[in-house]
């Protein structure tokens, strides 16, 4: 009798190892649930463990560090700065009236033009810090082309692509539960700092680039095109921009912008597929002025070009 009652009682209590496994699974499931978000444009499920404040702070620090680097020359030439600020302001305004409005309004936006005619690049960091290198001017060609570039870059920041990449890297390296513990810790280890820089696309500053995934690229192209159209720029310029980009990539030094942004033909075909939707937004938007960007090789301002060459 007593033996039978022991047997009846035994299954009620799981062995410690099973309880630990179940506990860990519940914990991981909880993290997955709280870490999942849906992209408002593409309905893609995103796994984001990293809080906005975390990457935004690192990005802001890194931005200051890049701009205070003695090798970096910040353009003060109004011919270069004004068009960039004008286009950025319209893209930011469009973002504040987009499906990313809440995030766009929280960003502490800042735009800098870096005088570097050799670097064909532009980026936007989580938190809204933007840089455009003057080497990007011949490829962007005009303000509509620049709007497409900035639309694309700003979407990487607004859509939390950096936070998503860092979340994936943390899980891959440390495991899910450990990742949340690492993130909740106050101190920032050198390893975590390195991962953050790679995730926000500034890995090049520390020697490694972690390319954005094809999915992130496609999302940035699509929503960036809509933002540019909403800001009053002809979205058809996007196709011409990528054709110029393709042409520039045949040279000896392909654009840095392109090194993390592969496959022109697929990209152009996708843009054409999205064009009817973008054109509807463009037709409804107040039109933006579209001047050509300054020529960087023909008439560089002497004081700035001397600094750029001197470094």
Distance in Å, CB of 161 to Zn ion, minimum: 8
Fill in the per-residue mask, 104 to 133: x = in contact with Zn ion (CB under 5 A), - = not in contact. Answer: ------------------------------
Chain residues 32-61 in contact with Zn ion, contact rule CB under 5 A = none
Nearer to Zn ion, 107 or 212 (CB): 212
Backbone torsion region of residue 75, taken as left when φ is above 0, otherwise alpha when ψ lies between -120 and 50, otherwise beta = beta
Distance in Å, CB of 245 to Zn ion, minimum: 12
d(C-alpha 196, C-alpha 177), whole Å: 18
Strand (E) or helix (H) holding 46: strand 45-47
Q: How many CA atoms lie within 13 A of 105 on its CB side?
A: 7
Residue written as tokens 């999942």?
Answer: 36
Strand (E) or helix (H) holding 273: helix 264-284
Fill in the per-residue mask, 155 to 194: x = in contact with Zn ion (CB under 5 A), - = not in contact. Answer: ----------------------------------------
Residue 264 phi/psi, 5-degree rounding, is -65, -40
User: With 0-12 CB in 10 A as exposed, 13-18 as middle and 19+ as buried, what is 254?
Assistant: middle
Q: Which residues contact 274 (CB under 8 A, 6 or more apart)?
A: 221, 222, 225, 226
Distance in Å, CB of 82 to Zn ion, minimum: 25
Nearer to Zn ion, 121 or 230 (CB): 121
Total residues at interface with Zn ion (CB under 5 A): 3
d(C-alpha 170, C-alpha 174), whole Å: 6
Chain residues 261-280 in contact with Zn ion, contact rule CB under 5 A = 261
Closest CA to 129 of 196, 192, 55: 55
Nearer to Zn ion, 131 or 308 (CB): 131
Chain residues 200-239 in contact with Zn ion, contact rule CB under 5 A = 212, 220
Please give the torsion angle defined by the CA atoms of residues 282, 284, 285 and 287, in that order, rounded to the nearest 10 degrees: 70
Distance in Å, CB of 220 to Zn ion, minimum: 5
Nearer to Zn ion, 126 or 300 (CB): 126
Nearer to Zn ion, 259 or 305 (CB): 259
Nearer to Zn ion, 142 or 260 (CB): 260
Residues forming a β-bridge with 133: 114
Distance in Å, CB of 64 to Zn ion, minimum: 23
Distance in Å, CB of 194 to Zn ion, minimum: 21
- Active-site amino acid positions: 153
Chain residues 243-262 in contact with Zn ion, contact rule CB under 5 A = 261
Residues that bind Zn ion in the complex, under the rule CB under 5 A: 212, 220, 261
């Amino acid at each position: 009798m007593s033996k039978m009652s022991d047997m009846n009682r035994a299954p009620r209590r799981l062995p410690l190892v099973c309880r630990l496994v179940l506990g860990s699974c519940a914990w991981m499931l909880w993290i997955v649930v709280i870490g999942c978000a849906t992209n408002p444009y593409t309905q893609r499920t995103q796994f984001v463990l990293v809080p906005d404040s975390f990457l935004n702070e690192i990005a802001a620090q890194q931005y200051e560090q890049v701009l205070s680097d003695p090798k970096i020359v910040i353009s003060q030439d109004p011919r270069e700065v004004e068009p960039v600020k004008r286009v950025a302001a319209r893209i930011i305004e469009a973002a504040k009236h987009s499906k990313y409005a809440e995030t766009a309004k929280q960003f502490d936006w800042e735009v800098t033009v870096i005088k570097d005619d050799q670097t064909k690049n532009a980026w936007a960091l989580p938190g809204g810090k933007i840089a455009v290198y003057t080497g990007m001017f011949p490829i962007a060609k005009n303000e509509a082309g620049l709007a497409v570039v900035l639309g694309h870059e700003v979407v990487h920041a607004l859509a939390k692509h950096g936070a998503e990449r860092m979340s994936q890297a943390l899980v891959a390296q440390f495991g899910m539960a450990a990742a949340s513990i690492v993130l909740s810790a106050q101190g920032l280890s050198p390893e975590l700092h390195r991962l953050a820089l790679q995730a926000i696309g500034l890995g090049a500053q520390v020697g490694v680039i972690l390319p954005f995934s094809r999915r992130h690229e496609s999302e940035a192209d699509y929503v960036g095109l809509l933002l540019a159209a909403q800001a009053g720029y002809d979205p058809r310029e996007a196709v011409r921009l990528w054709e110029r980009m393709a042409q520039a990539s045949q040279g000896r030094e392909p654009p840095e912008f392109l090194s993390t942004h592969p496959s022109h033909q697929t990209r152009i075909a996708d843009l054409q597929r999205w064009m009817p939707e973008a054109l509807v937004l463009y037709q409804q938007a107040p039109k933006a002025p579209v001047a050509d960007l300054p020529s960087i090789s023909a008439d560089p301002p002497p004081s700035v070009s001397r600094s750029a060459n001197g470094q």
